[in-house]
Structure 1
Amino acid sequence: MNAPSPIQKEELLAQDPQVLAAQKAVTLIGVPTDVGAGRLGAAMGPDALRVAQLGRALARFGVDVQDIGNLAGPPNPRGPRDAHGLRNYAECLAWNQAAHDAVYAQLQAGRMPIMLGGDHTLATGSISAVARHCRASGQRLRVLWLDAHADCNLPEISPTGNLHGIPVASLCGQGPEPLAALSGAIPAVQGPQICQIGLRSVDAVEKRIIQRLGLEVFDMRAIDEQGMRAVMQQALAGLSGPEGADVHLHLSFDVDFLDPEIAPGTGTTVRGGPNYREAQLCMEMIADTGRLASLDIVELNPALDIRNQTAELVVDLVESLFGKSTLVRG
C-alpha cells in the first residue's frame, strides 16, 4: 500500500469552513432604540452584544470587522397612539431611515452589514436598504425571518400600536406609505421572498394577512413535526450551488425566536421556541449555503437578561453563521 502523500498545512486550512469566513468583510451598525417596542431596554441591545465580544468573536475567524458605533436618533417619547393607531410613528420613521442609509452605505462599499438592534421595527429600514441594493445589482433577495411573531399587523388592527409588530407588512407594501416606500419601491419585498421560521404567537387577523401576502411560514408545529433539518432544507432550497449564485440572503434574527428558557433577555418571550441545538443547526445550515450577505440582530433586552447570558448565546449562534462547526463537513 502506498503511503498517503503529505498534506500541506495551507491545503488543510483552505478547506476549513472557519477559514472561509476570512473572505468576509463585515460592519457592525448599532441602532440603539426601543421606540417601536412596548417595553424599554432593547435600546441597550447593541452595547450588550459588544460586551459579549461579538466583534472579537468574528475576528477570531479571520473576519474583517469594522464597528461604526451607534447611530443617532430621536429619544423614545413613550407616547400614546396617534390618529392612525400607532405609537411613536415619527420617531420610528426617523430611526428606520437612519438604519436604511447606514446599511445601504455598507452594501455599496462591498461590506456585509450586521445591524445590532434595537427592536424589530428597524428591519423595515435594513431590509429596505437590502432590497434597494438587490434591485440595483440584479440579485435575487431571500429573507429569512426568525421570530416567535409574524410582525404582520396593520395600524388599524394592531392590538398594541407598537411598530415592532408591523415591519413585515410594511416591507410588503402595507401600512404607512413612508415606511413602505423606504426602498424606493412599493412593495420593497414580495411576500414569497420572505420565509418565517419559529412562529408561535400570531394574531387572528395576521393569519389571514400572512395567507394574502403569500409568505412562506414554518411555525413551531412544522418544526415539531418535521424537525429543524427538514424545515431548513425547505427554507434554503435553491440557495446552494450554481442556481443560488445570484441570491442575496438576508437573515433577520429576533432573539425571541429562541425559547425563553435559554434566552430570557428579550421583551416579548413566548414559550415553546427552538432549543439550543435546534438553533445551532439552523445557523449552521444557513452558513453551509455560503449566501448570507446581511444580518439583523434585534430585540435583545439586557434589562431583562441574567448576567448577559442571552447576548452571549446570540454571539455563540452568530459564530455558527460564520462557519464555526465541530468538524469539517461537505
Structure 2
Amino acid sequence: MNQNISIIGVPMDLGQTRRGVDMGPSAIRYADVIERLERLHIHVEDLGDIQIERVVEEPTGKLRNLRAVTFAATRLFQVVDSVVGHGRFPLVLGGDHSIAIGTLAGVSKHYENLGVIWFDAHGDLNPVEQSPTGNIHGMPLAASLGIGHENLTNVGNYSPKIKPQNVVIIGARDLDPGERELIKEHSIKVYTMHEIDRLGMARVMEETIHYLKGRTDGVHLSLDLDALDPHDAPGVGTPVLGGVTYRESHLAMEMLAEANIITSAEFVEVNPILDEKNKTAKVAVALIGSLFGEKLL
C-alpha cells in the first residue's frame, strides 16, 4: 500500500440533521491518527480541513442543503484529485457520509475500473424521489453510480464515477425500500449482517477481495463507523443494533492490508457529541492502523 498519505478533513454535517459530526475530523486527529501512522514509518502530510459553506437554504425538492453539499463535494473533488495526481494516498476524515460524493469523484478520475468497499450499516443508495428524509448522507453511493440529482451526480463534470458490478457493501442491516429495489435492479453485491454471522468475517473478506481483484484497477474503502455495533462505536448519528464487532472490523482491515488492494480510503460519521470519551474516534484510528499494516507482533 502507498506509504505516502495525505490526510484531508471534511467537517461536514449538512448531509443530515444531527449536529456534531462536523467535529469528526478533529476528534480523529485528537485520537492521534497521525502519530499512529508515523509509527508505521508512513510519511503523513495533513492538508487540514476543506472549507464548508454554511448558508441558510430552502430544501431543493426533497433534498436538504443541496447547494452547500455540492460546494463541499466539488472542493473535496479538487483536493483528492490533486493528491492522487501527485501519487499519494488520500485518507479522508469525515464528516457525514455525503462527503463520499467528492472523494469518489476525485479518486475515480484516475482509474478505469475503480472498486468500492462500502463498509456501512446502510446502503446510502436512496434515489431522491424515494428518500424518506431528504438527507444527502443517504445518497452518496447512488450519486456515484450516476443516480440522483445532477448537482450530485456530476461533481467533477463526469458521471458515473463507479460501476455497480465493482461495488461491495459490507455490514448492511438497515435498507430502505428504494435501496432494496436498486440493489436488485443493478445486482450490487451485498454482505448483510446475516451473511457475516453465517459465513464469518474472514470468508466475507476473502470473497470480497477475490471478487474485486479480478475486475478493478484500484479499490476505495468507504468506512462508516455505524457499520460497527453501537456498543463498540456509540458516537455515530444513525446507530443500528446488531452490527459488526470491534474484532471483526479489525480482521477486515487486516485482511485488506495483507491483500494490498486499497488505493484510497475515508472514515466517516464520527460524532463526538454523541460519543463516550472519544471512544468512536479512537476506534477509527485503531482501524486505520490495521488498514495500514499495524500488527501486534
Mapped contact 1:36–1:121 kept (Cα < 8 A):
yes
Compute the displacement of 1:48 (Å): 0.3
Summarize deviations over 1:29-69 as a string: whole Å, max 9, x none: 01111010121111000000110000110000000000011
Q: What SS is found at the alignment partner of 2:26?
A: helix
Aligned residues: 297
Letter in 1 for 2:181: R
Cα distance in 1, alignment partners of residues 190 and 273 from structure 2? 31
1:128 to 2:98 alignment = no
Name the counterpart of 2:46: 67
- Within the candidate set 179, 204, 217, 1:231 is matched to 204
- Map 1:23-172 → 2, pairs under 5 A: 24-75=3-54, 77=56, 81-82=59-60, 84-135=61-112, 140-172=113-145
Which ranges in structure 1 are unaligned for 5 or more consecutive residues? 1-20
- Within the candidate set 252, 255, 261, 1:285 is matched to 255
Q: TM-score, normalised by structure 1?
A: 0.87
Compute the displacement of 1:239 (Å): 5.6
Change (3 A) 1:192 1:238: closer
Change (3 A) 1:76 1:209: farther
- Map 1:177-192 → 2, pairs under 5 A: 177-192=150-165
Mapped contact 1:239–1:289 kept (Cα < 8 A):
no
Cα distance in 1, alignment partners of residues 237 and 73 from structure 2? 20
Cα distance in 2, alignment partners of residues 278 and 291 from structure 1? 19
Mapped contact 2:127–2:178 kept (Cα < 8 A):
no
1:219 to 2:192 alignment = yes
Cα distance in 2, alignment partners of residues 214 and 184 from structure 1? 26
Name the counterpart of 1:319: 289
Bigger Cα Rg: 1
Q: TM-score, normalised by structure 2?
A: 0.96
Compute the displacement of 1:73 (Å): 2.1
Q: What SS is found at the alignment partner of 2:124?
A: coil
Letter in 2 for 1:118: G
Identity %: 38
Summarize deviations over 1:53-108 as a string: whole Å, max 9, x none: 0011000000000001111121264x5533x2110000110011011111111000
Which ranges in structure 2 are unaligned for 5 or more consecutive residues? none
- C-alpha RMSD over aligned residues: 1.5
- Within the candidate set 272, 276, 282, 1:302 is matched to 272
Mapped contact 1:35–1:76 kept (Cα < 8 A):
no
Name the counterpart of 2:233: 263
- Map 1:3-18 → 2, pairs under 5 A: none
Q: What SS is found at the alignment partner of 1:75?
A: coil
Cα distance in 2, alignment partners of residues 28 and 146 from structure 1? 20
